[in-house]
Amino acid sequence: MREFHRLVEQEIPRLRRYARALTRDSNRADDLVQDTLLRGLDKAHLWQMGTDLRAWLFTIMHNQYVNDIRRATREQSILDVDQVASTLAATTDPTASRQLAELDRALGHLSNGQREVVLLVGLEGMSYEEAAKILRLPIGTIRSRLSRAREALRSLMGIDEETESVERVVQRSRTDDGRIAAA
């Protein structure tokens, strides 16, 4: 049991990061993490040694989040995202701060399903298979939601996919003195 507690403790930073991005409110995120940990510890006997504890905890968190949303809908107490907007990271680079604020705002415009997939795959670095298992969706649904979410984010942030890919190629091909290398 001690080993289980140690493994759970190692996952807390990831749980907090995902919860904050998911709820977009640090207080609600802390409550979600706490509820997830309580439920995980209470159901520890159901976890099988050798299986992916992170995926198990994220599944618990996802289910808890969905239950919270349903409960709030029934109670008519859903907060407006704009009222609880938060920043993703603190930085001294004003361009990076602006871009993070734009990304945060754009994520808020995605559907819950798209945002969950983007956060699991993009933020947490999970595979499509892991995200599908956590969200209990077919892998094709994960891929289509991610594709639509990426397109929506590009549109919301004013990023032209072709221009962006050309700019990345040009940046990679620059020489040390800033000139573009010949192909």
What's residue 1's pLDDT?
73
What is the rounded CA–CA span in Å between residue 137 and residue 141? 6
- Angle (CA) 124 10 27, round 5°: 70
Return d(Cα 154, Cα 162) in angstroms, integer: 11
Residues 6+ apart with CB under 8 A from 102: 157
pLDDT, residue 76, reads: 59
pLDDT confidence bin for 182, thresholds 50/70/90: very low
b or e along 141-170 (b: 16 or more beta carbons within 10 Å of the residue's beta carbon)?
bbeebbeebbebbeebeeeeeeeeeeeeee
Query: How far is C-alpha 135 from the geometric centre of its chain's CA atoms?
Result: 12
pLDDT of 129: 92
In the predicted model, what is the mean pLDDT of residues 147-169? 71
At residue 49, the pLDDT reads 84
56-82 pLDDT per residue, tens: 999 999 889 888 887 876 665 444 444
Q: CA-to-CA distance for 183 and 168, rounded, in angstroms?
A: 15
What percentage of residues in the chain have a pLDDT greater than 70? 74
Asked whether residue 91 carries a pLDDT value surpassing 80, the answer given is: no
C-beta of residue 157 within 8 angstroms of C-beta of residue 103: yes
CB atoms within 10 A of CB 179: 9
Q: With 70 as the cut, is the pLDDT of residue 43 above it?
A: yes
pLDDT category of residue 37 using cuts at 50, 70 and 90? very high
Q: Please check whether residue 79 is in contact with residue 25, taking contact to mean a CB–CB distance below 8 angstroms.
A: yes
Q: Give residue 61's identity as a one-letter amino acid code.
A: M
180: β partners: 174
Q: Rounded distance, CA 58 to CA 36, Å?
A: 8
Read off the pLDDT of residues 101-143 as tens digits, 9 standing for 90 and up: 788 888 888 898 999 999 888 888 889 999 999 899 999 999 9
DSSP code, position 174: B
Question: What domains sit in the chain, N to C, each tagged with a CATH number?
Answer: 1-79 (1.10.1740.10), 89-183 (1.10.10.10)
Kindly report the pTM of this predicted structure: 0.55
Residue type, 31: D
